[in-house]
Structure 1
Amino acid sequence: MTDSTYHIRLAGEIARHIDQLAGHLAQAQPTEAAQIIGAVLDPDDGVLARITTLVATASHYAKDHTENRVFPPGVWLALGRAANELHDVGLDLDEHADTFRQLARRTADGSTASPPKPATGPPPGRGR
């Protein structure tokens, strides 16, 4: 039999990793940020898709246990609404998946130059 606290620890660890990822994203360069956001929003393997699946699974579980009177019907309905809303958000963001892929590829393949740096010192021909 599996240690029942393992799953709770796993959920906590995943939450900590998501917090770490958010911290990295906040400090990332634009290309790296586009890569992170693209990975998070990937419609098949991204974090949002996996969280949506987890909430939908929780909704199905709550439905089954609502029928047995373990959970009140409001829990099942709330989880179902949350899963539907997350799914809809994912669909809205899917429109922008190509944008993140293009941004991530730009500096990864070196096709976009970095912006010019401001000149320092006196303008040419004006020095003494």
Structure 2
Amino acid sequence: MTDPSNSAANLAKDIALRLRVLDEYLTEATPRQAAAILSEVLDLEEGLLTGVTHLVESGSRFAQSQAHRGMLPPEVWLAMGRAANELHSVGTDLDEHATTIKQLGTPPASTAPPKPVASAMVVRRSR
């Protein structure tokens, strides 16, 4: 039987590896592809930055409980809390630009020529 705590640590390693791979994709991507990647990362509801922020917030709560028990120095809890606050602040700052980045990643709608509209002079019937 596998140790659940070990599988969670392995999951964290796997995510770190995948982030490095994503970084490689981003550095080699076209502007449109890079914007699409970044818009997913910056999505305020379900984006990567939001997920990391929540993870650090959970880590801060863990550090708080361990600091109260004397298992961790209070400085660890304070540093984790500060990191969570900073990540939240960065996410908020970037959110105001996320739409602009997303628009760059969205292919332009096909610009079909406008449907001809008859002018009033053409519509009149001759008698």
TM-score over 0.5 (shorter chain): yes
Unaligned runs of 5+ in 1: 112-128
CA gap of 1:90–1:66, structure 2 versus 1, over 3 A, is same
CA distance in 1, matches of 2:62, 2:110: 48
Alpha-carbon distance in structure 2 between the residues aligned to 1:85 and 1:97: 18
Give the total of aligned pairs: 110
Runs ≥4 residues deviating over 4 A: none
Equivalents in 1 of 2:32, 2:110: separation in Å?
A: 11
What is the percentage of aligned positions where both structures have the same residue? 45
**Shift, 1:106, TM fit:** 3.1
Find the structure with the greater CA-based Rg.
2
CA distance in 1 between partners of 2:31 and 2:59 (Å): 35
* Map of 1:42 onto structure 2: 43
CA distance in structure 2 between the aligned counterparts of 1:98 and 1:26, rounded to whole angstroms = 21
The separation in 2 between residues aligned to 1:97 and 1:110, in whole angstroms, is 23
User: For residues 28-107 of structure 1, what are the structure 2 equivalents within 5 Å?
Assistant: 28-107=29-108
Displacement of 1:110: 4.8
Measure, in 2, the Cα distance between the counterparts of 1:110 and 1:26: 28
Give the match for residue 12 of structure 1.
13
Change in 2 beyond 3 A, CA 1:88/1:20: same
For 1:54, the aligned partner's letter is: L
